[in-house]
Amino acid sequence: MPKRIQFSRNGGPEVLEFVDHDPGQPGPGEVLVRHAAIGVNFIDIYYRTGLYAAPSLPSGLGLEAAGTVEAVGEGVTGFAPGDRVGAAFGPLGTYAQLQRIPATKLVKLPDGVSFDAAAASMLKGLTVQYLFRQIRELKAGDTVLFHAAAGGVGLIACQWARVLGVRLIGTAGGPEKCELARKAGAAEVIDYRGEDVVKRVLELTDGKKVATVYDGVGKDTWAISLDCAAPRGLVVSFGNASGPVDGVNLGILAAKGSLFVTRPTLGTYAATPEQVEPSSAELFGLIASGAIVPDVSRRYPLADAGEAQTALASRVTTGSLLLVP
């Protein structure tokens, strides 16, 4: 019997259950996928804890995976058994050996992209794609600040910035993480454990600050992000690794220099195949060329999903974590 991770109530890692689960044959418009590698992301923790609401309980978990098509349902075109595919757009349930997924939520993997690379980069890489290419299209010579530059999203962002000729100033905790971000392509890295981030940004920009701040950390870095944005600059708050930002007084944006703020999600920028296809093609092209190399720092058996999430939540990991079905 195939296995999956599910949860029947919200809470800590202890609510995760490793259970038998037969997804059945694909229905109309669906594809049955056998996962080969599964990505672990902060959004999975948000669903587990209840910060984001699952459609119903008990629920599967996970949004990112790569594997092989086992069967296709009625009306499905463009996919066939044996095709290599990746998923990052739902529904919940990638923490599983087998999953039924709507065909509209899948993309084919090119030959130059391995299962591990896809599972380590689809959600994170497509996040960077919309951050850098859609919210505000970055140009060579731009200077930006990117928090958690040694994390899974951050390391892809560092590499993508280098491709674009963007000067990325990263933040990371500790010398090892700072060096990792620097090697990935960050022009400068600030160790937030021992340095004043705002002061260093002022020094590195000759007092001008940056036009765009990318903040996937949330509560702990919100005030810092506002102080690092130049007048009429943009703060992109795209994650809640330290907890959600709440109690925002809009008057602060005026006081800090008529700032702009957005709280985007990948689901909005990758809602349809027409949106997903060019974004994923750009990401996969960079991976296949070697310009972006997804960093897989740790692999865990599927049954140890709770341990993987605990490691991710500790914010001591670097790169991407994978589950092996």
pLDDT of residue 108: 96
Tokens linked to 316: 């001591």
The answer to whether residue 316 scores a pLDDT higher than 90 is no
Phi-psi map region of 306: left, alpha, beta (phi>0 left; psi -120 to 50 alpha)? alpha
Q: How do residues 158-207 score in pLDDT, each as one tens digit? A: 999 999 999 999 999 999 999 999 999 999 999 999 999 999 999 999 99
Q: Which domains does the chain have, with CATH numbers?
A: 3-120+270-324 (3.90.180.10), 140-263 (3.40.50.720)
Which one, of 151, 148, 187, lies nearest residue 166 by Cα? Answer: 187
- Condensed to tens digits (0 to 9), the pLDDT of residues 8-56 reads 999 999 999 999 999 999 999 999 999 999 999 999 999 999 999 999 9
Amino acid, single-letter form, for residue 205: T
pTM: 0.91
Q: Residue 90 has what pLDDT?
A: 83
CA quadruple 237, 243, 246, 251: dihedral sign? negative
**What is the structure's pLDDT at 168?**
98
Q: Which pLDDT belongs to residue 170?
A: 98
Amino acid at 183: K
Ranges of beta strands (E only) in 41-119 are: 59-60, 65-72, 84-87, 98-102, 106-108
pLDDT per residue as tens digits for the range 202-255: 999 999 999 999 999 999 999 999 999 999 999 999 998 888 898 889 999 999
Predicted local confidence at residue 240, as pLDDT: 87
Place of tokens 């296809």: 277
61-76: average pLDDT = 97
Give dist(CA 164, CA 220) in Å, integer: 29
Cis omega (within 30 of 0) for bond into 110: no
Cβ–Cβ under 8 Å, residues 130 and 269: yes
Q: Helix H segments across the chain? A: 42-49, 115-130, 152-164, 175-184, 197-204, 222-228, 251-255, 266-269, 273-289, 305-313
pLDDT score recorded for residue 321: 95
244 vs 148, more confident: 148
| Sequential DSSP letters for 132-184 | IIIIS---TT-EEEESSTTBHHHHHHHHHHHHHT-EEEEEESSHHHHHHHHHH
Model confidence at 111, pLDDT cuts 50, 70, 90, reads very high
Mean pLDDT over 285-300 rounds to 94
- Cβ neighbours of residue 215 under 8 Å, at least 6 residues apart? 147, 221, 222, 225, 235, 236, 237, 238, 239
245 CB-near residues (< 8 Å, 6+ apart): 218, 219, 222, 237, 263
